[in-house]
Amino acid sequence: MLTFKRTTSDNPDFEKLVVQLDTYLTILDGEDHAFYSQFNKSSLLKNALIVYENENPVAIGAYKEYDAETAEMKRMFTLPEHRGKGIATKVLSELESWAKEENYKTALLETGFMQKDAIYLYQKLGYKIIENFGQYQGVENSICMKKNI
């Protein structure tokens, strides 16, 4: 059974999965990892979500304010052995609902061009590719996406 916990990024279970996410991204991003990691600091995220299966943390996601009407989705990760079960879809849906509760109208996100499964998931859930925003402008390896929520 899956349970969802709204928390902050200083939750030990969230931090534990962030370590695994960063290890995964180090491999995927290769030489570009140092550039991306500066924008993916997980500290001080006040809107973090942990998914538990039988009390074990198996997935995370978070968002932060981009501007008064826009939430930027961050730190989406599901343990490899739990992928393919629809958990990431549920995480993103829950984050969008939470952001809507806080009166955000739009969700933004950035992902790497090598993360084909993530790109497919986001597009399937209604995200559209946009011009790179903020710190990702001019970064060829970044794919930025947007959705009205």
Q: Quick one: pLDDT at residue 137?
A: 92
- β-strand pairing of 106-112 with 70-78: parallel
- pLDDT 10s digits, 48-85: 999 999 999 999 999 999 999 999 999 999 999 999 99
Euclidean distance between CA atoms 99 and 109, whole angstroms: 13
- Please check the confidence at residue 41 and state whether its pLDDT lies above 70: no
Question: CA 37: distance to chain centroid?
Answer: 13
Report CA-CA distances (Å) from 89 to 36, 51, 59, 62, 119.
23, 12, 11, 13, 12
Q: What is the mean pLDDT of the chain?
A: 89
Q: What pTM was estimated for this model as a whole?
A: 0.88
Of all helices (H) and strands (E), which one includes residue 30? none
Out of 4-18, 35-49, 50-64, 104-118, least confident range: 35-49
